[in-house]
Every structure is written in structure tokens, then in C-alpha cells.
Amino acid sequence: MKNIKIDFVDFWPQLDKKNNYFFNILSTKYNVIIDEIKPDVIFFSVFGENHLNYVCKKIFFTGENVIPNLNSCDLAFSFDFLKHKKHFRLPLYSIYKEYFDARKIVTNKDKDYKKIWEKKKKFCCMVVSNPNAKERISFFKKLSNYLPVDSGGSVLNNVGGRVADKLEFINNYKFVISFENEISEGYTTEKILEPIIKDCIPIYWGNKLIHKDFNSERFLNYHKFNTEEDLIKKILELNSNPELAIDMISKPILSNDRVSFEKEKEQVLERILFTLNNTKKPIAKTLPGIIYKYKKKYSNKRLFKYTKYNFLNLLKIK
């Protein structure tokens, strides 16, 4: 196989550069080498600005509620439904699905759902660390007025400390409060997929277009209820009627409108290969890319004069 040198910058600290969604996809076509000095292409995210130091081809990914700037990259992956030749919708939960597969956590296949539900002895939980999601905190308190709701994260913790393994913890519960930190169309993280993976019923708030991703019959969609009282009434009904709950957790996971995870990976690889092999000049070496860099670097400083000398000098970097 042909060699390709890549690097990952501005990602979360826990990223394994040699075992992740993009590295593994590229490894099916290339002998992938991590090169932090002079890569052929970098993958970058939103946790820093080290990507500004490179003029090779750049591929952006965000799992955060951030709209990509297409002048910063040659290809962007995000949650957004943006239709552009340089953009592909890849929500964060797709990356998590790859992680779950690596841990050999299977979904919706040859399971005895009646037995699974009977083993779930606890009512509802949440595991979160962001104290600023007011809707989630409010709903937690309101639902707790009916039946005990356990919190295993740092926010409203009532189980004696933060849990070590979120998936292991939620496995014991029938329902999981699966509210996003923020609300935005298309913005869907791991919060709905994790309880589905563990055969729980997610109580979801966030992306109002969530039905385009997940089967509406497999979770409780906050946005489909007129009031929180109506939603809580439905939760209590499922809690007291095992047959209804078992029917829900046995439903297909994905929406009919969404391609399978396997097909999605094929499409992601196609877009990456097209970008690598057909884009003549990296965006960082074009005028829009150069202007983007200087606006980022000098946005809080005095107005920078875009001279021919400065543009050429910019290229004298990694």
C-alpha cells in the first residue's frame, strides 16, 4: 500500500492518534504514518489553533456545536446539514459507534429483550459534568419528585461520587436523561446512543431533527410532548408497563432516512480520498486560507496589512 503521512492536532487530549475513526478508515487504503513534523494532511478540531501552523491539506472535524469555517480546511466533517462540496455531515455519535464496536459492544442483535428489561431494577439516571445545562437540571429535579433519579456525574451527584464507567453504570437503569448541553438542529452527540447501546430508554432533548438520525419509536423525544408533565406521564407509564417498554427497546435504532454506519464510513472514505487526490492546492496556500489565518492570529491585535510579502512569508512554515 502507498504511504501517507498524517497528524492530528487540536483534538481532545484522550485521542489515540493510531487508533481512531479517521486513522482506521485511511488504513484500509494506505500505510498510515503519524508524522508530526511534515504530514501530507492534518486532521484538526476545535481545541486549539495549532492547525494554523500547517500549509498541507487540512481536514476538520468537530463534535462540538461549532459551524465549520470552510476557508480553514479542504474538507469539513460536522453535525450540520450544510450542503457543500467541502462538507460532509458526520455527527459525534458516529465516532462513538466506532469506539463501541472496538469494545465489542453490540446493538440490537439476537437479544432477549424481556430478560434484559427484567434485569434493570433501577428507574432513571443521568451522568453529566456540565453544570450550565439548565433544561437538563430542571427536568432532573422535576422527575425526581415522582421517583428517585440517580446522578452519577459531577452535577447533582447523589450516588457517593462520580462513577468510573458510564456505560456500566447506566446499564442498571430503565431510563437515562439524555439531554444535550446545547440545542441546535443536527447537533447530536453520544448522549442518545449510549443508553441505546445499553438497552435503556433515552429521554432526549436537543436536536429537534433527531428523527432524521434515530428511530422515533426507540426513544422519548422531549420535543414531541406538549408539556413536561405529559412526558413524565409517558415515562411512568412505560415504567409500570414492561410490555410497552420491551417493545420500545427492541425497535430498530436508526431512522429510515439515515444510511447505516457501515455505508456512512464508506462515504466518509470516499470524500477523504477525493480531497486528497483531486484537490490541486491546499486551502492554506490560497488567498481565502491565508486571510483566514491572519484574521485568526490578529483578530485581537492591530489591523494587519495584507501585503504580498506577508502572504508569501506565511508559507515559510511547516
Question: How many angstroms separate the CA atoms of 264 and 106, rounded?
Answer: 18
Q: What is the pLDDT of residue 111?
A: 87
* pLDDT (average), residues 170-181: 97
Query: Which is it for strands 57-61 and 75-78: parallel, antiparallel or unpaired?
Result: parallel
Q: Is residue 102 situated within a structural domain? A: no
- Residue 101 banded pLDDT, cuts 50, 70, 90: confident
Give counts: helices (H), strands (E), the chain: 11, 11
* pLDDT (average), residues 26-50: 97
* Shared domain check, 137 and 222: yes
pLDDT for 71-85, tens place per residue? Answer: 999 999 999 999 999
* Shared domain check, 130 and 84: no
- Residue 307 banded pLDDT, cuts 50, 70, 90: very low
* Shared domain check, 115 and 82: no
Does residue 70 register a pLDDT over 60?
yes
- The answer to which of 104-108, 177-181, 228-232 has the lowest mean pLDDT is 104-108
* Shared domain check, 34 and 118: no
Q: Is residue 286 situated within a structural domain? A: yes
Q: Is 4 in contact with 56 (CB distance < 8 Å)?
A: no
Does residue 314 register a pLDDT over 60?
no
* Shared domain check, 121 and 88: no
* Shared domain check, 142 and 236: yes
Q: What is the pLDDT of residue 318?
A: 41
Q: What is the mean pLDDT of the chain?
A: 91
| Number of domains, the chain | 2
The percentage of residues in the chain with a pLDDT greater than 70, rounded to a whole number, is 91
Question: How many angstroms separate the CA atoms of 205 and 111, rounded?
Answer: 27
Give the residue from 249, 277, 293 where a domain finishes.
249
Q: Is residue 194 situated within a structural domain? A: yes
Q: What is the pLDDT of residue 103?
A: 58
* pLDDT (average), residues 244-272: 95
* Shared domain check, 151 and 26: no
Q: What is the pLDDT of residue 109?
A: 62
Give the CATH number, domain containing residue 133.
Answer: 3.40.50.11660
Cα dist from 312 to 134, 280, 297, 309, 318, whole Å: 48, 18, 16, 5, 14
Give the CATH number, domain containing residue 50.
Answer: 3.40.50.11650
* Shared domain check, 239 and 127: yes
* pLDDT (average), residues 48-56: 95
Q: Is 5 in contact with 31 (CB distance < 8 Å)?
A: no
Give the residue from 249, 274, 298 where a domain finishes.
249
Give the residue from 249, 273, 303 where a domain finishes.
249
* Shared domain check, 88 and 145: no
Q: What is the pLDDT of residue 304?
A: 41
Q: Is residue 78 situated within a structural domain? A: yes
Q: Which residue from 109, 138, 112, 113 is spatially nearest to 126, judged by alpha carbons? A: 138
Does residue 301 register a pLDDT over 60?
no
* pLDDT (average), residues 195-219: 97
- Residue 243 banded pLDDT, cuts 50, 70, 90: very high
Q: Is residue 103 situated within a structural domain? A: no
Which residue segment(s) compose the domain that 307 sits in?
3-94+261-314
Q: Is residue 255 situated within a structural domain? A: no
Does residue 183 register a pLDDT over 70?
yes
Around Cβ 300, how many Cβ atoms within 10 Å? 5
* Shared domain check, 74 and 48: yes
Does residue 107 register a pLDDT over 70?
no
* pLDDT (average), residues 148-156: 97
* pLDDT (average), residues 148-176: 97
* Shared domain check, 280 and 242: no
Q: Is residue 256 situated within a structural domain? A: no
Q: Is residue 119 situated within a structural domain? A: yes
Does residue 263 register a pLDDT over 80?
yes
Question: How many angstroms separate the CA atoms of 206 and 180, rounded?
Answer: 5
* Shared domain check, 145 and 60: no
